[in-house]
Structure 1
Amino acid sequence: MSKLAIRTVLFSMLGNAVLAGIKFLAGIFGNSYALIADGIESTVDVFSSLLVLLGLKYSARPADENHPYGHGKAEPLITFLVVAFLIISAFTIAWQAIQNIRTPHTLPSSWTLIVLGAIILWKEISYQLVMNRAKKIMSSSLKAEAWHHRSDAITSIAAFLGISVAIFGGEGFEVADDYAALVACGFILYNCYGIFRPALGEVMDENNYEELTLKIREISLQVKGIEGTEKCFIRKAGMKYHVDLHATVKGDLTVKEGHSISHNLKDRLRKELKELGHVLIHIEPA
């Protein structure tokens, strides 16, 4: 799973590096600050992807004496850094856009719309690809990486609309390009919250995995000797979910029999749910 995640991040880094160069050149020669702002975001995305890559590699390290539950918590911490990079880029773009609004400048070139159209299509494809892989391996940092692509597509759409207004409006509408950059900043900041909130929940060990809890309870009832389940606490670390489960058995069983049933239940859960890490079974008399 970690290899798939690393390949996905490398794909993002390469794509963002190429697009940053295209946006900067198109923005400079096409007189569009919205495109230059887009290029700034893509450049920041390259560095944030590097952070995600380092975080994935560190979080994939096996458990040791000091970290019996592994190093998975590094992943949401890296996500916080990615969000910080996005916020910094948004405010940088907004500040420069405001400066440009105050300064008269020439209209953008019409051919920049073709460049932006291709960029929007590519970024949306990249978003779908990375998000599908993020869901497959349950990685919060990869979801953040996917939202980088979506926010980049949004800023490109804003730039497309701004340049269109500037071109078709003619003289006096030059600042539409810069206002588009400001609108894009608002979308970026909104996406930052969407990335930050799940990562915060992961660090705080929020128990909000209803679908996984239901699967655990259903599988548990299929194990011979299990009468039912009570408490089920789940916390996520990296790409693994650690589970504390209270299961009920007949009250007249011996300690040895109850111990054997708990091991059978643990083995069954880890066999059918590959995303599980540590599983602690507490046996209760029915």
Structure 2
Amino acid sequence: MDAVRAAGWGLGVNFALMIVKLVGGIFTGSSALIADAVNSIGDVASALAVRGALGVAQIEEDEDHPYGHTKAESIAGLCVSLLVTFSAGLLAIETAKRLGGELIVPGKIAGVIAAVCAIAKEVIYQYTHRVANRLRSSSLQAVAWDHRCDAIGSGFIAVSLLAAPYLGSAAPWVDPIAAICICVMLMIAGIRIFSATARELMDQQADAEMVNEARQIASQVGQVIDVEKLRIRKSGLEYFVEIHIEVDGKISVSEGHRIGHDVKDALLIEMPRVRDVHVHIEPHE
């Protein structure tokens, strides 16, 4: 499955970069690079959570879960956002405490390491973002934006550390300030992801484009006079549709039942991401 593969690539890249940043930060004395490494540790934990949730989400419905287990994917997205926000807040506090102590200027090698990490993160972002958009996966979207934030953060660190030796008396302040800026950026991204995923868990109506597509498909089914009500909610990677259609009130119950099944079949065929459709028949006045 594409979602599991994307999460697996993210896990592998994050683990490798975590080691590179941590070792590089320790040997060069860069607090910004160490902060970025700690963030990568959070990314590894997030990737593991998302992979596990995607596996749970694919379990078929059972007696206790008649709608399946797809919400696990959304819960993972929410956990990722909380982890990103909380970790960034702690890093910002710890970095701010160091401002009162002795500050050093890290070697240029720290900037080179950060630049390589930024490029790697941007590549994995582009890949994950494409998969997330195609599947409309909130947890993968959360992970993708985490990759993008990391890429921007590492790029910012690279520019700052490479330029620091030429900034005179301001040079020692570049590294901790860069670390704090990264933390603030991560907190903003985490809050944004939390908001989007929370709306999904609250069964927010699907976007207008998808609703209009479903309405058009149902309206084209024979003997459907009008679509009275249409609700579409997202659950993990899939959608559930509740639709009320109007038909001629003089037809038989059997005929109305057949039309309802035709509408359901049309939606399931034309919209592969739809898991189930509940059709309610109304007489047209």
Aligned to 2:256: 258
What one-letter code is carried by the residue in structure 1 that aligns with 2:36? D
The residue correspondences of 1:59-208 to structure 2 (distance < 5 A) are 59-208=57-206
Say whether the 8 Å CA contact 2:78–2:139 is kept in structure 1.
no
Measured after TM superposition, the shift of residue 143 of structure 1 is: 0.8
Measured after TM superposition, the shift of residue 122 of structure 1 is: 1.5
Say whether the 8 Å CA contact 1:100–1:175 is kept in structure 2.
no
What one-letter code is carried by the residue in structure 2 that aligns with 1:184? I
Classify the secondary structure of the residue corresponding to 2:280. Answer: strand
Measured after TM superposition, the shift of residue 113 of structure 1 is: 2.1
Measured after TM superposition, the shift of residue 29 of structure 1 is: 1.9
Measured after TM superposition, the shift of residue 154 of structure 1 is: 2.3
Aligned to 1:241: 239
Say whether the 8 Å CA contact 2:125–2:148 is kept in structure 1.
yes
What one-letter code is carried by the residue in structure 2 that aligns with 1:82? V
Measured after TM superposition, the shift of residue 165 of structure 1 is: 4.4
Say whether the 8 Å CA contact 1:162–1:178 is kept in structure 2.
no
Aligned to 1:214: 212
Distance 1:217 1:87 in 2: 38
What one-letter code is carried by the residue in structure 2 that aligns with 1:16? N
Q: Percent identity?
A: 34
What one-letter code is carried by the residue in structure 1 that aligns with 2:261? H
What one-letter code is carried by the residue in structure 2 that aligns with 1:160? A
Distance 2:54 2:202 in 1: 19
The size of the alignment, in residue pairs, is 284
Give 5+ residue unaligned stretches, structure 1: none
Aligned to 2:49: 51
TM-score normalised per structure 2? 0.95
The residue correspondences of 1:221-236 to structure 2 (distance < 5 A) are 221-236=219-234
Measured after TM superposition, the shift of residue 36 of structure 1 is: 0.8
Measured after TM superposition, the shift of residue 194 of structure 1 is: 1.7
What one-letter code is carried by the residue in structure 2 that aligns with 1:26? G
Classify the secondary structure of the residue corresponding to 2:172. Answer: coil
Measured after TM superposition, the shift of residue 81 of structure 1 is: 1.6
Distance 1:207 1:172 in 2: 51
Equivalent of 1:280, from 266, 278, 281?
Answer: 278
Cα distance change on mapping 1:26 and 1:170 into 2, 3 Å: farther
Measured after TM superposition, the shift of residue 238 of structure 1 is: 1.0
Distance 2:60 2:80 in 1: 24
Q: Which segment drifts farther, 79-88 or 135-144?
A: 79-88
Aligned to 2:3: 5
Cα root mean square deviation, aligned:
1.4
Say whether the 8 Å CA contact 1:241–1:277 is kept in structure 2.
yes
What one-letter code is carried by the residue in structure 2 that aligns with 1:196? F
Measured after TM superposition, the shift of residue 248 of structure 1 is: 1.3
What one-letter code is carried by the residue in structure 1 that aligns with 2:9? F
Distance 2:63 2:145 in 1: 35
Distance 2:63 2:152 in 1: 45
Cα distance change on mapping 1:122 and 1:128 into 2, 3 Å: same
Measured after TM superposition, the shift of residue 209 of structure 1 is: 2.1
Distance 1:208 1:263 in 2: 22
Cα distance change on mapping 1:103 and 1:211 into 2, 3 Å: same
Aligned to 1:31: 29
Classify the secondary structure of the residue corresponding to 1:173. Answer: helix
Say whether the 8 Å CA contact 1:73–1:203 is kept in structure 2.
yes
